[in-house]
Amino acid sequence: MRPIRSPLAARRAGSAHGRKSPVAAAVVLGAVLALTATACGPSEDDASDKQSSSATAGSNDTIRIPDNIKDKLKEHGIDPDKWKNGEWKNWDRDKWLREAQDFVNPIIDGLWDSDRMRDADKNPGGEVDDNDISGDQGVTDPTPQPVKAAAVANPYHGSAPYAGKLFFDGPEGSMVCSATVVSDPAHPGKSNMIWTAGHCVHAGKSGGWYRNIAFVPSYNDSGKSAEELQGAPKDEVAPFGVWWGDWAQTSDQWIEQGGPTGGQGAPYDFAVIHVTPEKGSTGKSLEETVGSSLPVNFNAPAVPKVSQLTAKGYPAAPPFDGQKLFQCADKPGRLSLNSTDPTMYRIGCTMTGGSSGGGWIAQGSDGKPALVSNTAIGPVTAGWLAGPRLGKEAKGIYDSVSKKFAGQ
């Protein structure tokens, strides 16, 4: 039995304008190109009536959904009793909540056990041919040379305590991304906020919010293989616990324009999630639990002035198995998908799907590391990654989530 508790609704950031893993997302460059969304989203044709094979929630005797969430579900014609007993696996168009304010993510205690986390590997999405990244209306530098992903030294908590793996459910089953613990200006030293890609929380214009979104910092801290993790206790794969998203926001541009193959929302493919521990409050925040967070730089310099960016993530598509943390470091170039949208950073990197949402880190003006982007798109050839430059839209989302929980 898995009791459900504490669901909350997310809302759209007020300051956003307009409106998953091989890595990628598709873009329109005169004609529609097939790009891969690094993390996860299902294709439009697959997003309607498919159900995942995930474990069901518990019985009526052990599950309680607060009245406000019951009302939210009823507004969409969803029976709360059926939802809590497995209806969340129904991805019918009418049941897939889309609007920002409709986000619900009830905690299902124990749903993400060690086996389910190990086996989560869905990375559906389109693919892009490097030769098609040309003729855009903006400025794009030559395709970078591939940089072989390097294994991060374990234990990961010692090398990158702010990094972790994101788990969630979509129409095709259990999916994965990467995420980063970021600082919260409203709670210095006590942040419960993480940064990831928009397509790791919302499917974009043809879908809605994903479900059962949970973050595991320092996942598989000792860097064991999938075979070695067979039957592993939960505290081995999740040494700092499982943290469920109780609030999530992504850009209006991603919700309106993003898609399973990226779409025109790629330059705005970022999201902030506020999390809470699966087992209830222990008195410690996520940042206090892991001992680290990264500040976010929304004024990072233009590409020519950035000497190096380091992308971290848990690539899950072959030749990787999604269980280990990797990184790529390279001097970034520019990728412009449309002259009216911000230019994206692009680096050489062989990480594949699953690395989506992982943080891109640079040295800040104070000499300390700061998050300046996240993995958003890349080609099927897995030779490069691209991430958005974080500007006013990203800062609006970040500030909104921080302010939402400022008094708590």
- Looking at 71-75, 160-164, 255-259, which range is the least confident one? 71-75
DSSP state of 130: G
| Global confidence as pTM | 0.85
Phi, psi at residue 22, to the nearest 5°? -60, 150
pLDDT at 156: 98
What CATH architecture is 4-135+161-294+390-404?
Answer: Beta Barrel (2.40)
Statement: residue 74 has pLDDT above 90: no
**Amino acid letter, 282:** T
pLDDT in tens, 320-342: 999 999 999 999 999 988 888 88
Q: What is the mean pLDDT of residues 80-92?
A: 81
Confidence of residue 65 (pLDDT cuts 50, 70, 90): low
pLDDT recorded at residue 66: 63
**So what's the pLDDT on residue 45?**
36
Give residue 263's pLDDT.
65
Tokens of 222: 């000792």
Q: Shortest CA distance to 244 belongs to which of 108, 394, 388, 401?
A: 108
Q: Write the DSSP string, 162-221.
A: TEEEEEEEETTEEEEEEEEEE--TTSTT---EEEE-GGGTB--TT--B-EEEEEEETTTT
pLDDT at 39 over 50: no
pLDDT band at 261 (very low <50, low <70, confident <90, very high): low
CA 202/CA 200 separation, integer angstroms: 6
DSSP readout, 54-101? PPP---TTT----HHHHHHHHHTT--HHHHHTTGGG---GGGS--SGG
Q: For residues 402 and 187, give the distance between their C-alpha atoms in angstroms, rounded to a whole number.
A: 8
**Lowest-confidence segment of 1-5, 86-90, 365-369, 396-400 by average pLDDT:** 1-5
pLDDT at 108 over 50: yes
Looking at per-residue pLDDT, the higher value among 366 and 22 belongs to: 366
Residue type, 357: G
Q: What are the domain boundaries of the chain?
A: 4-135+161-294+390-404
Using the predicted structure, report yes or no on whether residue 405 has a pLDDT greater than 60. Answer: yes
Band of the pLDDT at 144, cuts 50, 70, 90?
very high
Mean per-residue pLDDT for 202-225?
94
Angle at 142 between CA 136 and CA 148, to 5 degrees: 125
CA atoms lying within 13 Å on the CB side of residue 211: 28
SS (H, E, C) 91-111: CCHHHCCCCHHHEECCEECCC
